[in-house]
Amino acid sequence: MTNILAILGTPRKKNTFQIINRIEENIKELDDEINFEYLFLHEYKMDFCKGCFSCILNGEDTCESYNITKEIKGKIEEADGVIFASPVYVKQVSALMKNFLDHFSYLVHRPDNFDKAALAISTTNGSGLKNTLSYLEDTTKTFGFNFVDKFGIMKYVYEKGGKETKKANEKIKNISRDFLNRIKSKKHNSPSLNELLHFKITRLVIEFVRDLSPIDYDFWVKNGWYEKDYFVDVRIKPFTKLLGKMIFSSIEKQFLKEE
Ligand SMILES: Cc1cc2nc3c(=O)[nH]c(=O)nc-3n(C[C@H](O)[C@H](O)[C@H](O)COP(=O)(O)O)c2cc1C
């Protein structure tokens, strides 16, 4: 059985939900061994993040909201693929989605979930899709997820029918197929220059502040990342590798000089 979890940052079963339904139908057409679960964030009475840094410094289980976040964390752990879905609210993800991501911000320091494929989905009345989808892509990649693709649409375009709806359904079909393929293959894309630099710079900073935050440093050591070229074993394009080395070396020099 393949487990797919859709995390929805909307309190309504309407536009975004409708797109997720389509994805579920498409995936189930390709594979009848799918367990597809919907997680509605509004059903979890999660306080706003208090900004105490405890999840980062002392471990995620020390968060005041851990009684709630541990259930979500458990569902993510069981999933082979996770869909992050949010409507556009004032040009960004909804507060429900943002508050959920804030509670998992320790993953920026201790990324995990490399074995889980991820999709980002959004809907809007007109504006903000680009921002919202880029934010979800960037955040889920930083959290460690194996990001596959993003898709968003204006609700009126989708509801109108005709050519545009047909085009959107085609795209949904394609991302559903790609998502399922990635879940099965678990293959990772070769990192971009930015992704490679993110790895190298985070590793440097984590080592630098190891006395302040030993939990992060121990995590990186435990994962063998001080001996590896990247988070996962994947081929890095030679030019990206070379450029990454050069840029990082100048950043490192600057960083150490300032201390
Ligand atoms: C609080 C709020 C803020 C919104 N902000 C925007 C916006 O900035 N731009 C836009 O085009 N639509 C905006 N919308 C419209 C929603 O993005 C759109 O209707 C979306 O498809 C709703 O998804 P849902 O049915 O899954 O909740 C907003 C809606 C709400 C309720």
Number of Cβ within a 10 Å radius of residue 253:
10
Q: What stretches of the chain adopt beta strand conformation (E)?
A: 2-8, 34-40, 81-87, 117-124, 146-154
Whether the Cβ atoms of residue 169 and residue 159 lie closer than 8 Å to each other: no
Residue 254: what pLDDT? Answer: 86
Helix pair 162-185, 15-30: axis angle to 10 deg = 60
Taking the centre of ligand 1 as the mean of its atom positions, its distance from the CA of residue 126, in whole angstroms, is 8
Decide which of 129, 161, 185 is a domain's last residue. Answer: 185
The closest residue, in CA terms, to atom 26 on ligand 1 is 16
The closest residue, in CA terms, to atom 9 on ligand 1 is 127
For residues 162 and 249, membership in a common domain is answered with no
For residues 145 and 206, membership in a common domain is answered with no
For residues 60 and 128, membership in a common domain is answered with yes
Residue 147: what pLDDT? Answer: 98
Taking the centre of ligand 1 as the mean of its atom positions, its distance from the CA of residue 11, in whole angstroms, is 11
For residues 26 and 152, membership in a common domain is answered with yes
Residue 3: what pLDDT? Answer: 98
Range of the domain at 160: 2-185
Decide which of 167, 185, 203 is a domain's last residue. Answer: 185
Cα–Cα distance measured from residue 241 to residue 246, given in angstroms and rounded to the nearest whole number: 9
The closest residue, in CA terms, to atom 1 on ligand 1 is 89
For residues 15 and 101, membership in a common domain is answered with yes
Nearest to residue 150, comparing CAs of 130, 164, 166?
Answer: 130
Taking the centre of ligand 1 as the mean of its atom positions, its distance from the CA of residue 214, in whole angstroms, is 41
| pTM attached to this predicted model | 0.96
Positions of the chain with pLDDT under 70: 258-259
For residues 198 and 74, membership in a common domain is answered with no
Decide which of 161, 185, 209 is a domain's last residue. Answer: 185
Cα–Cα distance measured from residue 247 to residue 258, given in angstroms and rounded to the nearest whole number: 17
Whether the Cβ atoms of residue 24 and residue 36 lie closer than 8 Å to each other: yes
Whether the Cβ atoms of residue 97 and residue 86 lie closer than 8 Å to each other: yes
For residues 201 and 139, membership in a common domain is answered with no
For residues 170 and 228, membership in a common domain is answered with no
Number of Cβ within a 10 Å radius of residue 59:
13
Report the atom number in ligand 1 closest to the C-alpha of 11.
27
Residue 259: what pLDDT? Answer: 64
For residues 110 and 219, membership in a common domain is answered with no
Whether the Cβ atoms of residue 2 and residue 81 lie closer than 8 Å to each other: yes
Q: What stretches of 70-204 adopt beta strand conformation (E)?
A: 81-87, 117-124, 146-154
Q: Give tens-digit pLDDT for 22-42.
A: 999 999 999 999 999 999 999
Mean pLDDT of the chain: 96
Q: Give tens-digit pLDDT for 151-166.
A: 999 998 888 888 889 9
The closest residue, in CA terms, to atom 4 on ligand 1 is 89
Whether the Cβ atoms of residue 19 and residue 151 lie closer than 8 Å to each other: yes
The closest residue, in CA terms, to atom 12 on ligand 1 is 125
Number of structural domains found in the chain: 2
Residue 258: what pLDDT? Answer: 66
For residues 163 and 198, membership in a common domain is answered with no
Ligand 1 neighbours by CB, cut-off 6 Å: 10, 12, 14-17, 87-91, 123-128, 155
Cα–Cα distance measured from residue 145 to residue 232, given in angstroms and rounded to the nearest whole number: 11
Cα–Cα distance measured from residue 220 to residue 68, given in angstroms and rounded to the nearest whole number: 26
Residue 98: give its domain's CATH number.
3.40.50.360
